[in-house]
Amino acid sequence: MKIITVASAKGGVGKSTFCYGVGKLLALHGKNVLLVDMDIGVRSLDILLGVSEKTVYNWGDVIKGNCEYRKALIQSANGLFLLPAPIDFDEGYTPEAFAGILGSFAKDFDYIFLDSPAGLESGFNLASKVADSCIIVSTPDAISIRAASYAANNVRKAGISNVRLVINKFNKKIHKSINADEIIDTVGARFLGVVPESQEIYGSVEGRKIPYECKGNQALLRISRRITGENVPFRAKNL
Ligand SMILES: Nc1ncnc2c1ncn2[C@@H]1O[C@H](COP(=O)(O)OP(=O)(O)O)[C@@H](O)[C@H]1O
Ligand SMILES: [Mg+2]
């Protein structure tokens, strides 16, 4: 079981969409995947997975002993599993308690993605302390890149050395002068891939699936294969 925190320190760059898109592809290719919403208070993965109606318990309930750990899991139509976030923070949500819950799922899942919130506080910290690796998601603008470098520094401080970078919402027309190497150097993380700004990915929810062959999904597919350790060549040095 691999535990990957998906972080950025900034909202709106596409972390939750990335977790959903990549998680769905890994599940489609036979992996057992769990997505954990770390956004205490402002959950979003239940909407992306189309399971909001089914959400009863969350990982906070498991820590508090309100329910057995399997009861908090929700399975979505595409084989992905979700562990929703609690609404409020509680002092009992320690890294030890949270790691204990993930440990209960060790036999059931190949990949656990922790969908970190914006900011560098509770949900981000908890995820950084229990994950074995990190994927930083950044859009190609200066503000997002700065936030991404803060996030990368913080996960490293928490002891994660395997930090990789995804550049999301890349738009050829707008980002003509953007150089991937500069972004990679600023964030200080290994490059994992680039995902184009895509009409098909925008607002992707269960009701409106991302077509398998579209460019955005193919980019997510290449990234998902790299996550499994496959050597998928990068197409171009500059974006
Ligand atoms: N590659 C992409 N192309 C187009 N829209 C995207 C892409 N990735 C994410 N989005 C959109 O950006 C918005 C924010 O995404 P979200 O995943 O909620 O960000 P975060 O979790 O980082 O706050 C959503 O409307 C989502 O559909
Ligand atoms: Mg999110």
Enter the pTM of the model. Answer: 0.96
Look at ligand 1, atom 9, and give the residue with the nearest C-alpha.
14
State yes or no: pLDDT of 88 exceeds 70.
Answer: yes
What is the helix (H) or strand (E) element at residue 225, kind and residue range? helix 215-227
CB neighbours (10 Å) of residue 46?
A: 20
Report which DSSP code applies to 173.
Answer: T
Cα of 17 from ligand 1 centre, angstroms:
5
The ligand minimizing its distance to the Cα of 10 is: 1
> What are the two backbone dihedrals, phi and then psi, of residue 169, each rounded to the nearest 5 degrees?
60, 40
Pairing of strands 81-83, 74-75: antiparallel
Ligand 2 midpoint to CA 202 (Å):
13
Q: Determine which residue's CA is closest to atom 25 belonging to ligand 1.
A: 203
Determine the distance separating the centroid of ligand 2 and the alpha carbon of 38, expressed in angstroms: 9
Please give the distance of CA 162 from its chain centroid, rounded to a whole number.
15
Domains of the chain: 2-227 (3.40.50.300)
Instruction: Tell me what pLDDT residue 206 has.
Output: 55
Radius of gyration, CA atoms only, the chain: 17
Residue 14, number of CB atoms within 10 A of its CB: 23
Alpha-helix runs per DSSP H in 2-94 = 15-28, 45-48, 59-64
Backbone angles phi, psi at 227, to 5 degrees: -60, -35
- Local structure of residue 84 (DSSP, 8 states): P
User: What is the token pair recorded at 104?
Assistant: 């209960």
pLDDT at residue number 66: 96
CA 194 to each of CA 126, 127, 161, 223: distance values in angstroms, whole numbers, following the listed order? 27, 23, 21, 8
Ligand 1 first shell, C-beta below 6 A: 8, 11-17, 44, 168-169, 195, 197-198, 201-204, 216
Per-residue pLDDT tens over the stretch 68-82: 999 999 999 888 999
pLDDT exceeds cutoff 80 at 239: no
Given a cut of 50, whether residue 238 has pLDDT beyond it is: no
